[in-house]
Structure 1
Amino acid sequence: MTDQAHASRPPKVAMIVPYFGRRPPYFDVFLKSLERIRHFHWHLLTDCVDLPWPSEQVTVHRSTLAECRRAIEQAAGQAITLDKPYKLCDYRPVYGLAFPELLEGCTHWGYGDLDLLMGDVDRYFERFLELGQEKFLIRGHCSVFPNTPRMLELFRHPTPEVDFGHVAATNEACFFDEWGGMAKIYRAAGISVFNESIMADIYKDRAHLSLTEKQMDYARQAFFWHEGRIRRFFVDGHGQLQDDEFCYIHLQKRSMLEPRWPAETLQAAACIEIRPDRFELVPALTPEAIQSALRANAASALNDLSLIARKARTKVRKWLYA
């Protein structure tokens, strides 16, 4: 498939996500967040996930970790270490070669996580295409490549810093799908990357919802999935309520209560509040709903302050009695 072929037809992205073990606790909410997306289709290779309702955006393929290993080894042309599912992250850049049948008719392919809620990814992807860049985003939780021979083979690109053979030989997580490998390969190969700050990447070890990019973070903020968009409301440095939008929100293995709504109730929802420890269905995105969410996240921030204070007291005691 040539780059000229990409320009002649609408974009279609195959997202390949092997997932084995226990069913993700809020998979239904993830699935709900995809319902308005047109350009992307998720292929789940799994032994533990069933769709709670039919979806135009997701296809489930029954598979096992052993079957994935064989496909990746055949594509890479070498033996790999893959005893536990966590190691799959290092082999994500090989998925395009390993599962070519999933890329048929697609202009692009990619990989990602399931601890996300997606927003209007189509709009951001269309902007990326208009800019003429080669790679859409760079993080392991959402990365997209053109479906071209060069990009399918990119994981093999030789650099002094990265050795795929070493990655394949160790059980250790090497983060090859992002900063530990592919990010260095993009630079060495001169790949242009659309890497704007369009994601809400949430700290996993804080009680409240706090962005990892500190320049974008606010002490008082709240997040919603609303009619296909990830919306944030925050109080700025002048005490004014503002709002912005993200391509998706990444909850980073955050411990969230498993929703218990009937499938038809979740399907009908237009707005979901993303709280620090759970999701809430909101009838409408009203000023009252926004203020309630701001208060809930601020209350969780107090737990973080209490934890910091306890750690500080412990350090002082150790110093005093050393």
Structure 2
Amino acid sequence: MKKIAVIIPYFGRLKDDFPFFLQSVKNNPSIDVLFFTDNNFPCDCPNVKVYLMTFEEIVSQFQRNFDFKIRLSKPYKLCDFRPSYGEVFKQYLKGYDFWGYGDVDVIWGDLRKFLTDEILSKYNRIFGQGHLSFYRNLPDINAIYRYVVQPSYKQVFTFDYGCAFDEYYGTSRYWDINMNDLFYQVSHYDDVDCMNLAFRSHRRQGDNLLFSYENGKLFRIYLKQDNLVKEETMYVHFQKRKMEVNTNPADMFIMAPNAFLPYIDLMNEANYKLFQPNKTFYAQSYKLRYQDFCNKFHKLKACFNHCEFGIPTHPKDVLHYYK
């Protein structure tokens, strides 16, 4: 079995639903999660390794890997540095066949069911999104981010604001164009649209989704032609949603808009309909739109500042990809 480590630097207050993520990690005992954090959180997961450090210390660790002055003033900017984790954290990755990065606003299902030995033997890069991606742990693979041209890693690492360099705006596009046969991109997961109150996945296979966590397995449940459908999924990403906690993390629970709830059988149509939103107004979507507007304004301001390697610009074809 290929050994896998997921690297997660996290600085600042952890959300109330973080224990549910840990529960789903615990039920994937063959995958290690390496936390670099200033949070000394309680954890009984044998496959979770916590390295306590300050944000300033991890910035210094990144800086030691580059011969130019990087800009890493806020923890969120770490997302742009994710493709470099294989080099920056190489001393922690000895013995691992694959390393990855991911978010904590997710619930993992049975990852190994989808990360089969066949896939891990054939591909060098698995998935292209920031919420969970994997690279084969080899020096030449770990350095590929350095060959991306538009934008270049030097432009991104010296720019104050996020450029989504870990996704198709940067390294994933490079893989897609130059190493497509070694890049696995099949969506076995659900990336829930943060602009809708109801759960709507990027997969477009079923709206008004609910999710059921059952003894290490994760299921997506939806209504199709008046029939309830239950399918196993790899993981769900809640993407900026504020999830209420109305139960304890355990081996069984359900996820409905927008809460973790005690487990019940959602294949009962009455139970399924019980958790569907009865309103369309979603205040969080307006808050997110406002934040997005502010981020774009600050990025525009930053473009007028001197950038040693130039301003990072995204290729035009990325818009077509995301459509």
**TM superposition score category, shorter chain reference:** 0.7 to 0.9
Task: Give, in angstroms, the shift of residue 57 of structure 1.
Answer: 2.1
| Matched-pair contact (CA < 8 Å) for 2:257–2:277 | no
Name 1:198's counterpart in structure 2.
188
- Superposed CA deviations along residues 184-221 of structure 1, whole A, max 9, x for unmatched, are 2213432521111211111112212111333x232x43
Distance 1:49 1:294, change over 3 A: farther
Equivalent position to 1:48, from 39, 46, 64: 39
Name 1:295's counterpart in structure 2.
274
Name 2:77's counterpart in structure 1.
87
1:299 is paired with a residue whose SS is coil
Aligned partners of 1:209, 1:242: CA distance in 2, in Å?
15
Name 2:227's counterpart in structure 1.
240
Task: Give, in angstroms, the shift of residue 75 of structure 1.
Answer: 2.1
Name 1:221's counterpart in structure 2.
209
Distance 1:180 1:197, change over 3 A: same
Q: Percent identity?
A: 25
Q: CA RMSD in A?
A: 2.3
| Matched-pair contact (CA < 8 Å) for 2:37–2:52 | yes
Name 2:61's counterpart in structure 1.
71
Name 1:34's counterpart in structure 2.
25
Aligned partners of 1:234, 1:240: CA distance in 2, in Å?
8
- Superposed CA deviations along residues 141-168 of structure 1, whole A, max 9, x for unmatched, are 1000000011111110143x22111101
Aligned positions, number: 284
Q: Which amino acid letter does the alignment assign opposite residue 7 of structure 2? A: I
Task: Give, in angstroms, the shift of residue 291 of structure 1.
Answer: 3.8
| Matched-pair contact (CA < 8 Å) for 2:247–2:262 | no
| Matched-pair contact (CA < 8 Å) for 1:221–1:294 | no
1:114 is paired with a residue whose SS is coil
| Matched-pair contact (CA < 8 Å) for 2:11–2:39 | yes
Task: Give, in angstroms, the shift of residue 229 of structure 1.
Answer: 1.5
Matches within 5 A, 1:1-322: 10-51=1-42, 53-126=43-116, 129=119, 132-159=122-149, 161-191=150-180, 192-214=182-204, 216-218=205-207, 220-236=208-224, 238-258=225-245, 261=248, 266=249, 269-282=250-263, 285=265, 287-288=267-268, 291-299=270-278, 302-303=280-281
Aligned partners of 1:299, 1:49: CA distance in 2, in Å?
40
- Superposed CA deviations along residues 230-250 of structure 1, whole A, max 9, x for unmatched, are 1012111x2112111211000
More helix by share: 1
Name 2:304's counterpart in structure 1.
none
2:116 is paired with a residue whose SS is helix
2:200 is paired with a residue whose SS is coil
Task: Give, in angstroms, the shift of residue 79 of structure 1.
Answer: 1.9
Which blocks of at least 5 consecutive residues in structure 1 are unaligned? Answer: 1-9, 309-322
Aligned partners of 1:260, 1:75: CA distance in 2, in Å?
43
Greater than 4 Å deviation, 4+ residue runs: none
Distance 1:260 1:76, change over 3 A: farther
Task: Give, in angstroms, the shift of residue 128 of structure 1.
Answer: 5.3
Aligned partners of 2:266, 2:239: CA distance in 1, in Å?
28
Q: Which amino acid letter does the alignment assign opposite residue 255 of structure 1? A: K
Task: Give, in angstroms, the shift of residue 78 of structure 1.
Answer: 2.7
Task: Give, in angstroms, the shift of residue 258 of structure 1.
Answer: 4.0
Aligned partners of 1:97, 1:131: CA distance in 2, in Å?
22
Distance 1:199 1:49, change over 3 A: farther
- Superposed CA deviations along residues 79-136 of structure 1, whole A, max 9, x for unmatched, are 2101111110000111111112220211110100000000011111115526712211
With structure 1 as the length reference, what TM-score do the two structures score?
Answer: 0.81
Aligned partners of 1:280, 1:80: CA distance in 2, in Å?
43
With structure 2 as the length reference, what TM-score do the two structures score?
Answer: 0.81
1:75 is paired with a residue whose SS is coil
Name 1:311's counterpart in structure 2.
none
1:41 is paired with a residue whose SS is strand
2:91 is paired with a residue whose SS is helix
1:69 is paired with a residue whose SS is helix
Aligned partners of 1:197, 1:56: CA distance in 2, in Å?
28
| Matched-pair contact (CA < 8 Å) for 2:213–2:254 | yes
| Matched-pair contact (CA < 8 Å) for 1:12–1:40 | yes
| Matched-pair contact (CA < 8 Å) for 2:107–2:237 | yes
